Each structure stands twice: as C-alpha cells, then as structure tokens.
Structure 1
Amino acid sequence: MKRFGITIGDPCGIGPEITLKALHASSQYQQHALLFGSRSILDHYNKALGYGFAFNAITTIAEWKEGVVNIFDPMPHVKAEDIEIGKVTVLGGELAFQSVVSSIEFALRGEISSVVTAPLNKEALHLAGHKFAGHTEIFGAYTHGPSYAMLLWSEKLKAIHVSTHVSLRQACDACTKERVLTVIRLADETLRKAGYEKPRIAVAGLNPHAGENGLFGTEELEHIIPAVETARAQGLAVDGPIPPDTVFLKAMKGSYDVVVAMYHDQGHIPLKMLAFDSGVNITVGLDVIRTSVDHGTAFDIAGKLIASEKSLLEAISIGMKL
C-alpha cells in the first residue's frame, strides 16, 4: 500500500472524529495515511475516543516516521479551544480549505498517491473568503486535467454527473453534446481503472420521459442522442437517453454499471436513498485521485462521538483501487 492523504475536513464537524475512527479500524491505514488538518483538534478527539495514537507533525515528507500517525497541520498556531465544535465558523472554513490545498500539493509532488476528503462546510468555506462550491471545484482549480466530473460510487449503484453545483436553470444549459460525451468517456475510463473490463453505461434523459421525441424538450434530440451515438461509434457500451424515472432502477437491478446523470439531484437522490452511509464521492478526470465521504459535516452530532466512519473507510478503499 502506498502513502495516501486524508483531509479531516471542517474541524467543527465530524471529520476529525471519523478520521480517527477509520484509522483505529485499520492498522494498515495508520501506517500509510498522512492526515491534513489541525493537530490540536486531533489531540482532542484522540483523548475523547480513548485511542492513544502517537502523532508526528511534519512539514515535509522527509520528516515521516514509521509506527505513528503522521500529520501535516497547515495552521499549527490554532488551539483546540479556538475551534467551536458544531458551529459554522470562519476558522473552520479556513482550516478545511488550507488542509485540502496542502494535500493537493503533496499529491502533485508524488509524495502521496491519492487524497481522501472528510466533509467541509460550504457556508464556512465562503465565510473564510474561498468562493468554491465544494471539494470538486477546489480540486478542479488546483490540479490539472482537460475536464473532470463527480462520480458517486456504491456497491448497489454508481452515477456520474454532467453538472453538479449550479442552478437547475444553468444545469439545462450545461447539457451539451460535448459535455455529455466527455462524461461518458470519464465513466468508462474510471470503471476500467477499477477493474471493469467493458463498463455498461446508461445515459439518463434530462426531461421527463427523456423528452418524448421532442414533446417535452429538445435537449435529448439536439445533444444527448448525438453524444451517445458518437460514444457508441467509438466502441463504448452505452445506451440512452433512458427516462430518468426508470434508468436508476435498471442500473440497480444489474443492467448497467453506471448512470450518467444530467444534474446534481438527479444522481444524488437515488444514491443517497440507497447508500447514504457507505457511498463514496469521487472526482474523476484529474491528475490527483480524490475520493470522499458522501455526507456532510453533521454539525448537529459533532462532538458526540456517535458519527459513523463507514463511508470514509469505503472512500479509502476505492481510492486504493483507483
């Protein structure tokens, strides 16, 4: 196993807790993970959970030590008492952002093989002055690649998105032949990396009944069908557009390996219904492998020591596969 990074997310949320719980569940992960985040809040949870981890704070990979949990703290002056657990704060947003950017720098230098992200809070991120819609957009800005997309992964169902954090009105405009074709290719490429010999890809329609041959919208005729036909001509196993009210059921029953969703909620709702605690969020198409939990900061239970690490463990596992 290669070294990999875990960003602990917004320290006011459940990220630090689930990170330590995930490491406690696997001695292998303890040996190979580099944590990015506040050392002081990790000390706090280490004591609260009764784990007794030994930590080693590093500034460069040359300071790595075996037999302990290694940490890169981007803001080492911050004390645990400065962090308001369970609240949206500027400090929480700043720490989360600096942790992510630091992890990307380590990954681009080849010092870690992938990055696994615990949740950050978008409001806190914006309060800190970082106007990104989320992790996907931060990685898109700080890494390299001609195009990228968000893929939600679970054992029961997988969905990759043509658009994500934009308004529904903007999502319709984003549904172009070029973008749909790009996302189909990214779906095929990612699943092949994960071991699928020839991924079976379903493309959802944008409109009810996939447009009903132009009766309920023309995006399918003008953009989605041409993208599917081009992908099929290139040898990809792809069908569509399939009405969005049935395509996910077909995929869940085994007819397809992944669904290309046209917008955020179209893909997120079925995934979270089926696999809220075990789903993984993957940013694909970039030169840094990034996987993440598919849940939020859960400020309402932060500090109560009841958060589940299951999704984070899945994210680490998928990151290793990729």
Structure 2
Amino acid sequence: MNRRALPRLALTAGEPAGIGPELLVRLAATSLAANFIAITDRQLLERAAARCGLAVQLDEDDGSDVHHRPAGVLRVRHIPLGNAEVPGHPDPHNAQHVLATLSEAADGALCGRYAAIATAPLQKSSINDAGIPFSGHTEFFAERSHTNVVMMLASPELRVALATTHLPLHAVSAAINADSLERTLRIVHKELSTKFGYAQPRIAVLGLNPHAGEGGHIGREEIDVIVPVMNRLRAEGMALLGPLPADTAFVPAQRARYDAVLAMYHDQALPVLKSEAFDRTVNITLGLPFIRTSVDHGTALDLAGTGKADPSSLIAATRMAMDLVLRRSP
C-alpha cells in the first residue's frame, strides 16, 4: 500500500530579531504530520533552538518526498542573513534577507514546489527603514502573484475579512469605493465556497460609520457606496447581511446569521476576534493562487531571545494550511 507523501509546507521566519525563528523551531518540535521547509538562515535557526533548549535536526531541503517526519526534524532552504541577529533589535541590513525568504516562498508555491505557506511575523518598519517601501505580507504576495487579495482572520468561532488593511484611519473612507468593495466581496464569497466548503456563504457587511451611518446623519458612505454594491450582488444571488453597525454585529444572535464578516477597516473588527481567540486565530490571504496562512500577532521584540515564545498561533496557522491543502486534494 502506497502512502501519500506529506504536504510540503513552506515556513518563513519573518523578522530575524523577533520571535519568528523561535516559533519555527518550536513548531518543528511537534509531531504535526507535514514536511516543513524553513526558508531562512540555517544558523539563525540553530541559535533559536539553543535559546529554546531544543534539539532540532536541520536537514537541507533536497526536494524529495517525505512520508513521515519525526518530531524535531526540520528541512531548511538556506537564505543567509545580512548581519547576525540581535534579539529584540531589528536590523535594516536584514531587510533584503526577509524579502528574499518571502520571494522564495511565493515563487515556490506558484510553481508547485510548496503546497502552502505559513508565515511568522515580520517587522514592517525595519524593511521601510532600509529604504524599501513595504506594507505587509498580504500586499507583497498579491504583487508577487499579480492577483487581487483579501485579508481574512479566522478562529474556530469567527471569520473576519477586511475591505482595507494597513491604512491610516483618515485614508479609509477614500479607499472604499464601489469597484474595490465589489471585488472584495466577490473574492470572499468565492473563497468561502471553494476553500471552506460553503455552498451558499452568508456574509455580514459592516457599515463604515457609527450606527452604519444612521440613515445618512452620521456619514453617507453606506448610502452612496456600500448599499448599492450589496444590492447589485444580492441580485446575483449572494447572501449578504447589512450593512450592520459594528457595535452590535458580534452579539450571539447576529453571529448565528452569517458565516463571515466583512469589516471596513483593520481595527473595526479584529479587536473582537483577537480578544476572544488570540492564540487560535489565523491570518489567511484570500484570492491568491496558493494557500497562505500566518500568525495573528506581531514580532514580540520584548520577548525575543528569551526562548519563551508561545507557538500556539503558528501551530494553528499550520493546521489550517494543512486542512486547506487536504480539502483541495483529489
């Protein structure tokens, strides 16, 4: 009887001076059934394992199939650092290293070398300090794959997609227009169907303004943009609820009515999600031609180097990536 090869899951370590490298070696120490490929500097992982007190076997990735991965074994695609890391202190000289790891992960996923990507947190400011405009993983992978994408964060109890991502609050209203909102809703609807198995996804759409604009008395974005788009898509058969006021959209009676929420901006809904499921929430990029998941937290520079980083979110991200890989497999 032939055993199926374990899926090749690419892991990026994110910011070298953050907790990402420690998260990767702690993940490798688990018995999760996946062929993990760490795309980073080999010595960086060796130092992280030493800080965590873990004996991790680091093997060069030769591209071969693996049918069983013993706990503590991690394959590595070596991409050297610019400078050796100092935990807690990001170095802009390592910005090119970080971007090279993301490029290898994306290009490998696009050509089928990796079944999925799971990413540890990076420090956007360090890359920008190196003179390289950078707004995040989501935007990088979208540009690399020439696709329109949507950021979704998901826990076992709640899924939240975002109409805008890493924008200052004063820029949000101008970024929400009919074309972008329709494109976002179409991506969320399609991915909930194809990736998550909902035959007829129910999506709750939040208003931008308090009380969803209160009939235009607290802003007109709902009347001028959000409702017309929703009505057009409803006419095509989409099950859309709202626009709902954000302050009541997450009460239990409302949650029973939808499968996912579309929030208008980053901090409109994510505090609800993270406050109740921080260590079980996964960042998923919808719309990519490959599967990409990530942790729902930052680089925790104050914790880096202590060997005490909690890998729960990366484990959850990895499990979700594997579930999505297996769901699409024939």
**Residues 1:106 and 1:252: Cα distance change in structure 2 (over 3 Å):** farther
Deviations 1:245-289 (A, max 9, x none): 111225774221111000111132212222222211111112132
Structure 2 equivalent of residue 236 of structure 1: 238
- How far the C-alpha of 1:296 sits from its partner, in A, is 0.3
1:45 & 1:120 partners in 2: Cα distance? 16
TM-score calculated relative to the size of structure 1: 0.91
Aligned pair count reads: 315
2:86 & 2:197 partners in 1: Cα distance? 43
* More displaced stretch, 274-283 vs 48-57: 48-57
Structure 2 equivalent of residue 273 of structure 1: 275
1:249 & 1:103 partners in 2: Cα distance? 39
Question: What amino acid is the match of 1:89?
Answer: D
- Alignment of 1:73 with 2:74, yes or no, is no
* Partner SS for 1:246: coil
Unaligned runs of 5+ in 2: 1-5, 325-330
Structure 2 equivalent of residue 135 of structure 1: 137
Q: Is the 8 A contact 1:12 1:92 kept in 2?
A: no
Q: Is the 8 A contact 2:152 2:286 kept in 1?
A: yes
1:117 & 1:54 partners in 2: Cα distance? 20
Structure 2 equivalent of residue 41 of structure 1: 44
Q: 2:20 aligns with which of 8, 15, 24?
A: 15
**Residues 1:131 and 1:265: Cα distance change in structure 2 (over 3 Å):** same
TM-score calculated relative to the size of structure 2: 0.89
1:270 & 1:63 partners in 2: Cα distance? 41
Q: Is the 8 A contact 1:251 1:257 kept in 2?
A: no
2:67 & 2:127 partners in 1: Cα distance? 32
Structure 2 equivalent of residue 318 of structure 1: 320
1:25 & 1:249 partners in 2: Cα distance? 36
Q: Is the 8 A contact 1:93 1:125 kept in 2?
A: yes
1:261-300 equivalences in 2 (<5 Å): 261-300=263-302
Q: Is the 8 A contact 2:16 2:90 kept in 1?
A: no
Q: Is the 8 A contact 1:152 1:281 kept in 2?
A: yes
Structure 1 equivalent of residue 3 of structure 2: none
Q: Is the 8 A contact 1:34 1:70 kept in 2?
A: yes
1:174 & 1:249 partners in 2: Cα distance? 28
| Identical counterparts, % of pairs | 36
Question: What amino acid is the match of 1:194?
Answer: F
1:66 & 1:195 partners in 2: Cα distance? 28
Q: 2:126 aligns with which of 121, 124, 141?
A: 124
Deviations 1:284-316 (A, max 9, x none): 112132110010000101111111111111111
1:74 & 1:288 partners in 2: Cα distance? 22
Unaligned runs of 5+ in 1: none
Structure 1 equivalent of residue 249 of structure 2: 247
* Partner SS for 2:262: strand
**Residues 1:293 and 1:27: Cα distance change in structure 2 (over 3 Å):** closer
Question: What amino acid is the match of 1:55?
Answer: L
**Residues 1:197 and 1:65: Cα distance change in structure 2 (over 3 Å):** closer
The alignment's C-alpha RMSD in Å is 2.1
Structure 1 equivalent of residue 107 of structure 2: 105
* Partner SS for 2:187: helix
Structure 1 equivalent of residue 177 of structure 2: 176
**Residues 1:217 and 1:27: Cα distance change in structure 2 (over 3 Å):** closer
